[in-house]
């Protein structure tokens, strides 16, 4: 089976986008390895696990554990269970350092997301990871990126072309619609004293709203405007896929939207994660099939 590397930041990665792929890939027999900037065990965004701190009354210590909005915004039960299991996994507890990673040591790369600037900047801006991502793309090995993980890919420059590894590819990522909706929820109905909680990068001065959103930056790395993919208006299940209210599951992936372009699979947010991980597993299977050595002539004659 394949050996997969999942680099994550030391803090604030999204628990759904890490734990669900880890669970699905591990259950299929793949070896999943983690890496952090310093080789120490990482911690997910605690608010995305508990939901505490997301409601507008959360700044009052006595009311912090009272959750309403937090219940709908946190990781769902499937993801929380997967995260609890992952915490006991040896590879998660003893990750590698970013600087130890070599493309040649792994069969596939998975880039999860997260949004809280406190922890995500070191991950998204890592030159070591930019080189690693570019090496995987240049070697045509399977790569999966979801949410802000797509931004990490967009910032990685191919040694072959001198352009983003996503230049000439179709991709999706966290859409401005989803990012703006979450930002507005914090400003007007939730964590108003930290309204930018869902924005990893903010605009300055006269920059238009959303200029530093994930979608906008990823679009600027692409060859064509049409290469950024979102659910087409009028498509079957459009509301289920775009409202931000529904997430996919092991038994129902209808809310998910995933884009595959050659050996690269991308998705928008935690609501896509089951289908995203499943499609990545299919890419790994296809890679393994093409890598099989030719059958001996005697065996071919016997067949």
pLDDT tens per residue, range 20-62:
999 999 999 999 999 999 999 999 999 999 999 999 999 898 8
* Helix 15-27 and helix 273-291, axial crossing angle in degrees, nearest 10: 40
Residue 12: predicted pLDDT: 97
DSSP string, 196-213: GGG-SS---TTPPTTTTS
Query: Average pLDDT of 203-230?
Result: 96
Residue 275 predicted with pLDDT over 70: yes
Domain boundaries, the chain: 3-302
| Structure tokens given for 253 | 């992936």
Q: Which of 42, 243, 37 is nearest to 124 (CA)?
A: 37
Fold of 3-302: Rossmann fold (3.40.50)
Residue 98: predicted pLDDT: 98
Segment holding 267, helix H or strand E: strand 264-267
Backbone angles phi, psi at 143, to 5 degrees: -130, 135
Residue 236 predicted with pLDDT over 50: yes
| Structure tokens given for 125 | 């801006």
Residues in the chain: 303
d(CA 2, CA 107): 6
pLDDT tens per residue, range 101-154:
999 999 999 999 999 999 999 999 999 999 999 999 999 999 999 999 999 999
Instruction: Using a pLDDT cut of 90, give the percent of the chain over it.
Output: 92
Backbone angles phi, psi at 295, to 5 degrees: -70, 145
Residue 288: predicted pLDDT: 87
| Residue 136 and residue 220 in contact, taking contact as beta carbons nearer than 8 Å | no
Residue 74 predicted with pLDDT over 70: yes
């Amino acid at each position: 089976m394949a050996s997969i590397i999942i680099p994550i930041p030391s803090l604030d990665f999204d628990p759904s986008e890490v734990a669900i792929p880890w669970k699905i890939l591990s259950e299929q027999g793949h070896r999943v390895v983690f890496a952090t900037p310093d080789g120490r065990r990482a911690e997910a965004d605690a608010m995305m696990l508990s939901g505490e701190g997301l409601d507008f009354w959360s700044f009052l210590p006595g009311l912090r554990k009272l959750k309403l909005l937090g219940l709908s915004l946190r990781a769902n039960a499937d993801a929380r269970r997967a995260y609890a299991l992952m915490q006991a996994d040896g590879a998660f507890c003893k990750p590698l350092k970013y600087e130890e990673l070599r493309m040649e040591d792994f069969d596939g790369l998975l880039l999860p997301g997260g949004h809280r600037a406190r922890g995500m900047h070191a991950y998204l801006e890592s030159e070591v990871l930019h080189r690693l991502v570019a090496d995987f793309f240049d070697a045509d090995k399977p790569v999966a990126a979801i949410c802000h993980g797509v931004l990490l890919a967009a910032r990685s420059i191919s040694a072959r072309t001198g352009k983003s590894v996503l230049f000439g590819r179709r991709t999706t990522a966290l859409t401005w619609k989803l990012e703006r909706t979450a930002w507005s929820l914090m400003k007007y109905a939730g964590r108003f004293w930290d309204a930018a909680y869902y924005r990893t990068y903010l605009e300055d001065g006269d920059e238009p709203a959303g200029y530093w959103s994930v979608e906008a930056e990823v679009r600027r790395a692409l060859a064509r405007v049409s290469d950024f993919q979102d659910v087409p208006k009028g498509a079957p299940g459009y509301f289920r896929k775009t409202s931000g209210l529904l997430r996919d599951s092991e038994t129902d992936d209808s809310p998910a939207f995933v884009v595959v372009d050659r050996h690269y699979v991308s998705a928008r947010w935690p609501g896509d994660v089951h289908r995203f991980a499943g499609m990545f597993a299919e890419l790994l299977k296809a890679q393994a099939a093409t890598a099989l050595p030719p059958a001996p002539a005697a065996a071919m004659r016997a067949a």
